[in-house]
Amino acid sequence: MGNSGWWTGLGPRRQILVAVLAIFIVVGISTSGLRLFRGPAVPVAGRPGTVLLVPGYGGPATSLDQLAARIRGTGRVATVVQLAGDGTGDLTEQARVLDSYVSGAIVAGSGPVTVIGYSAGGVIAWLWYADYGSASRVAKIITLGSPLHGAHIAAMGTGYDQAQCPVACQQLAPGSALLTQLAQTARTRPPWLSLWSADDQTVRPPDSARLAGAVNVPLQSVCPGVDIQHAQLPTAPLVVGLVLRGLDGNGVTAPAPGDCAAVQAEGRLGCPAGRRGQAALTQPGGATIDRGAARLLWAVRCSRHVPLLVGAVVTVPYL
């Protein structure tokens, strides 16, 4: 028999079965090939990106839940990253964890993501961008009280008893190999807003959060005399207001002089920021308010400038 003898030797039903199986095999190989050659997913241009919030050293993810909820209130998708282990392990591993969240968000259809790093979470964000980031994948980075050049408390832990100072603790000591390598990274960074408090008693010196090329904002430069400790950074109205403002637009800018009260108002619970915040306000019971009424309600509840029915504008103090 020739090469086709095996085929002609099959009954009609077996011929149909073999043909169907062959089709499935060809389709499966083609689909796999497409997946292999399509490359990594890319963000959807023009679509708002997911906001990924990275907690600090050993800190619970719940420390960022309130900030994440405020961000979701503006219509953005916000996810708190669950770090590996107890959050005190190798920061390079934590950067890989963050990259998995970034990739997952982009595969799900996100635009370029925004990463918000609280405390050591800001170092993780920096390390992630140095190792995995690109201008197409990330829109901006915002850090809150992050020891980007190390913290004295980590140096004390390393010097006193390394057994009591886990890997991440050692990496956060000023002059560590990891921080030195990051400081020497030459690649251009995305728009970056770094916020910190001069009153911070955990990250010392507080201006370890200052980063060359970033928009650096010590909180007391916005609201002189404001007392915000390290643990209060994710929930303080001033910080929340600055973060919500920072998420708007393509870049990041420093607040204007005299913006203290307005920014704090935007950061207070029940006062979502800007036009999206006005649109998000609803009546009791969830009924939607028309645009004009929403603007008036937002102004009364959240703004220093309250438009009166006669068209005048008065300035009222915050209580």
- Each residue of 233-274: pLDDT tens digit? 999 999 999 999 999 988 899 998 899 999 999 999 755 544
Average pLDDT estimate for 283-308: 44
Q: Which residue has the higher pLDDT, 175 or 288?
A: 175
Burial class (CB in 10 A: 0-12, 13-18, 19+), 210: middle
The answer, as to whether pTM is greater than 0.85, is no
CATH 3.40.50.1820 segments of the chain = 49-256
Place of tokens 């207001």: 241
- Is 171 within 8 Å of 233 (Cβ atoms)? no
Q: How confident is the model at residue 182 (pLDDT cuts 50, 70, 90)?
A: very high
Q: How many DSSP H helices and E strands does the chain contain?
A: 13, 8
Higher pLDDT, 106 or 250: 106
What token pair was written down for 51?
């906001």
CA separation (Å) from 224 to 174, 202, 221, 259? 28, 20, 6, 11
Please write the tens of the pLDDT for every residue from 67-91.
999 999 999 999 999 999 999 999 9
Q: Which residue has the tokens 């007391």?
A: 220
Q: What is the mean pLDDT of the chain?
A: 81
- At residue 2 the predicted structure's pLDDT band, cuts being 50, 70 and 90, is low
Superfamily for 49-256? Answer: Alpha/Beta hydrolase fold, catalytic domain (3.40.50.1820)
What is the C-alpha to C-alpha distance for residues 314 and 220, in angstroms, rounded to an integer? 26
Is 22's pLDDT higher than 50?
yes
Give per-residue pLDDT as tens, 125-141: 999 999 998 888 999 99
* Residue 23 tokens, joined: 């089709």
Distance CA 227, CA 249 (A): 29
Return d(Cα 141, Cα 49) in angstroms, integer.
Answer: 12
DSSP state of 253: -
Name the nearest CA neighbour of 175 among 152, 194, 195, 198: 152
Q: Which long-range contacts (CB under 8 A, 24 or more apart) does 253-258 make?
A: 253/215, 254/215, 254/217, 255/217, 255/222
Band of residue 163 on the pLDDT scale cut at 50, 70, 90: confident
Q: How far is CA 80 from CA 29, 63, 101, in A?
A: 37, 9, 9
Question: Cα 120 vs. chain centroid, distance in angstroms?
Answer: 13
- Rounded CA separation 256/246 (Å): 13
Beta bridge partners of 116: 53, 142
Please give the average per-residue pLDDT across 102-114, as a whole number: 95
